[in-house]
């Protein structure tokens, strides 16, 4: 990876499923039941199925793009060229991290694999033109910083509400003890949140494996408990009647539901970094398929068994705390690659590496740049509603649907061009995206290979932007 970084490590497909599952099944997923109930059973089911399917399609696009970019880098290395997008080709400074052929799907001219770690930024710089790269960096920076700020606010706020309950709905600041009011307690939790989870930002996602495994157990226990308690409540006649639920329809709320689902299904920004360490790459498709602001757990806050109520109230704390390091590491590596691409190549210095505080700051600068701004925002404000609306809708939509679609579109065109260059005497290819045009047999290719899927995803993206904009206008 450009700019270096921690060693990648490896883990099984099951562990890879845990990482991606933890990214998806967080507090965002718990906003779906409330939004679903406000839309109605029929409209909600159709919208939820559609959005989940489109998100899975774009996730397979990401896997194809990872394999293709690795192939282009290997091809460029064999030719002794830099695999940058553009007419000029320079000597290649950075080679692939591994020459290991295990897990490769070979073609006649290049192996396609997902064995080497990379980030979205590296893929975008290889495949996009200048305007596309600028748009990509703007989108992912806004989304990831906004996401981290939301997490850094939500976890301390949830802990404060549990330890020092709000006396009334309109209370802004209230006394918790002789030494702390609610605002002081919140800021204390922000500091503790940063101290406990911040160190993970300086390592690799592999280092958070224990945290992810524990979080997955808690998530499954929480969901199982919520399902059991909900069934008991329905059996006792609590809540709305079945007839009322079936007959209720309010399509005007579909736009809000779209925004909630887009935010909930987001995992695409971290897929490149999470997939590379999986040992058995043939299971990647299964991993993705398996993984796929009122919060549902608040319905159980006043449950008669107080232990259940407290456990479920802490669910967002567990989920967001486990996801925070993953997103922080993703942002760190994208910032690292942006910086390395902006700095011109210079002769290697023989100077002794810096030590002490300066040496620490120099070697961990990107991690600090990713970690500190969200914590500073969280320390000085509890209101991130604007960030939720913007990052969860527009920037999130760009990362989840638009970027993967354009990545795979540009990749297929690039592979077609490479194939034509290698086989100039063969019959001209027909159009980008077809097997003939790609000129390879890529077992990591998306099953949604037809060009129509790309246009369909872009069409859904446009519709979603319109619906989200309408929703924001109404509020």
Q: Which residue has the higher pLDDT, 309 or 469?
A: 469
Domain ranges of the chain: 13-144+203-305+383-474
- DSSP lists the bridge partners of residue 111 as 106
Residue whose structure tokens are 């005007």: 252
Q: How far does CA 19 lie from the centroid of its chain?
A: 11
Q: Which residue has the higher pLDDT, 192 or 280?
A: 192
* Rg of the chain over all Cα atoms, to the nearest angstrom: 24
Q: What DSSP character marks residue 240?
A: S
- The most confident of 271-280, 315-324, 379-388, by mean pLDDT: 315-324
Q: How many CB atoms lie within 10 A of CB 362?
A: 11
Instruction: Report the pLDDT value the prediction gives residue 106, as an integer from 0 to 100.
Output: 40
- The most confident of 211-220, 280-289, 433-442, by mean pLDDT: 211-220
Q: Given a cut of 50, is residue 429 above it in pLDDT?
A: no
Q: Given a cut of 70, is residue 286 above it in pLDDT?
A: no
CB 60 within 8 A of CB 285: yes
Instruction: Report the pLDDT value the prediction gives residue 86, as an integer from 0 to 100.
Output: 47
- Residues 10-23: tens digit of each pLDDT: 555 555 555 555 55
What is the arithmetic mean of pLDDT over 121-133? 87
- Residues 223-237: tens digit of each pLDDT: 778 778 778 877 877
Instruction: Report the pLDDT value the prediction gives residue 189, as an integer from 0 to 100.
Output: 94
- The most confident of 154-163, 231-240, 252-261, 402-411, by mean pLDDT: 402-411
CB 229 within 8 A of CB 296: no
Q: Given a cut of 70, is residue 475 above it in pLDDT?
A: no
- The most confident of 100-104, 201-205, 259-263, 286-290, by mean pLDDT: 201-205
Distance CA 371, CA 350 (A): 30
Residue 138 to residues 59, 133, 157, 271, Cα–Cα distance (Å): 21, 9, 28, 19
Q: Given a cut of 70, is residue 288 above it in pLDDT?
A: no
Q: b or e along 333-351 (b: 16 or more beta carbons within 10 Å of the residue's beta carbon)?
A: bbbbbbebbeeeeeeeeee
Per-residue confidence band for 176, with pLDDT thresholds at 50, 70 and 90? confident
Q: Given a cut of 80, is residue 452 above it in pLDDT?
A: yes
- Residues 74-107: tens digit of each pLDDT: 777 777 655 555 444 444 344 334 444 444 434 4
Instruction: Report the pLDDT value the prediction gives residue 233, as an integer from 0 to 100.
Output: 77
Instruction: Report the pLDDT value the prediction gives residue 350, as an integer from 0 to 100.
Output: 47
Of the given ranges (182-186, 342-346, 450-454, 461-465), which has the lowest mean pLDDT?
342-346
What is the arithmetic mean of pLDDT over 248-273? 66
- Residues 353-398: tens digit of each pLDDT: 556 665 666 678 889 999 999 999 999 988 776 666 666 667 778 8
């Amino acid at each position: 990876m450009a700019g270096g970084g921690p060693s990648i490590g490896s883990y099984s497909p099951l562990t890879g499923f845990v990482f991606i599952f933890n990214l998806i099944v967080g507090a965002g997923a718990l906003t779906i039941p409330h939004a679903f109930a406000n839309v109605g059973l029929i409209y909600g089911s159709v919208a939820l199925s559609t959005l989940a399917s489109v998100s899975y399609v774009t996730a397979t696009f990401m896997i194809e793009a990872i394999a293709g970019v690795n192939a282009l880098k290997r091809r460029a290395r064999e030719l002794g060229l830099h695999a940058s997008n553009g007419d000029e080709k320079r000597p290649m400074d950075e080679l692939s991290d591994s020459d290991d052929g295990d897990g490769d799907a070979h073609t006649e001219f290049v192996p396609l694999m997902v064995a080497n770690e990379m980030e979205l930024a590296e893929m975008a710089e290889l495949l996009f033109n200048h305007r596309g790269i600028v748009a990509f960096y703007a989108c992912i920076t806004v989304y990831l910083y906004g996401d981290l700020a939301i997490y850094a606010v939500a976890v301390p706020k949830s802990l404060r509400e549990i330890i020092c309950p709000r006396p009334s709905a309109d209370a802004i600041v209230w006394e918790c003890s002789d030494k702390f009011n609610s605002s002081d307690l919140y800021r204390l939790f922000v500091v503790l949140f940063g101290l406990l989870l911040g160190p993970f930002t300086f390592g690799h996602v592999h280092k958070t494996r224990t945290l992810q495994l524990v979080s997955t157990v808690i998530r499954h226990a929480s969901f199982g408990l919520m399902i059991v308690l909900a069934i008991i409540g329905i059996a006792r006649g609590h809540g709305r009647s079945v007839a009322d639920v079936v007959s209720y329809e309010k399509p005007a709320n579909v736009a809000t539901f779209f925004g909630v689902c887009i935010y909930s299904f987001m995992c695409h920004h971290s897929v490149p970094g999470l997939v590379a360490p999986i040992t058995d790459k043939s299971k990647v498709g299964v991993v993705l398929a398996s993984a796929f602001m009122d919060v549902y757990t608040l319905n159980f806050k006043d449950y008669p068994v107080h232990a259940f109520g407290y456990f479920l109230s802490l669910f967002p704390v567990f989920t967001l705390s486990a996801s925070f390091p993953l997103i922080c590491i993703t942002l760190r590596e994208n910032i690292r690659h942006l910086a390395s691409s902006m700095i011109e190549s210079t002769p290697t210095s023989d100077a002794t590496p810096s030590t002490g505080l300066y040496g620490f700051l120099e070697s961990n600068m990107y991690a600090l740049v990713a970690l500190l701004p969200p914590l500073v925002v969280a320390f000085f404000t509890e209101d991130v509603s604007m960030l939720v609306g913007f990052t969860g809708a527009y920037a999130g939509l760009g990362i989840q649907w638009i970027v993967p679609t354009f990545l795979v579109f540009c990749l297929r065109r690039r592979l077609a061009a490479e194939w034509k260059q290698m086989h100039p005497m063969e019959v001209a290819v027909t159009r980008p995206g077809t097997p003939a045009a790609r000129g390879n047999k890529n077992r990591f290719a998306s099953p949604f290979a037809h060009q129509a899927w790309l246009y369909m995803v872009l069409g859904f993206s446009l519709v979603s932007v319109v619906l989200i904009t309408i929703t924001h206008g109404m509020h």
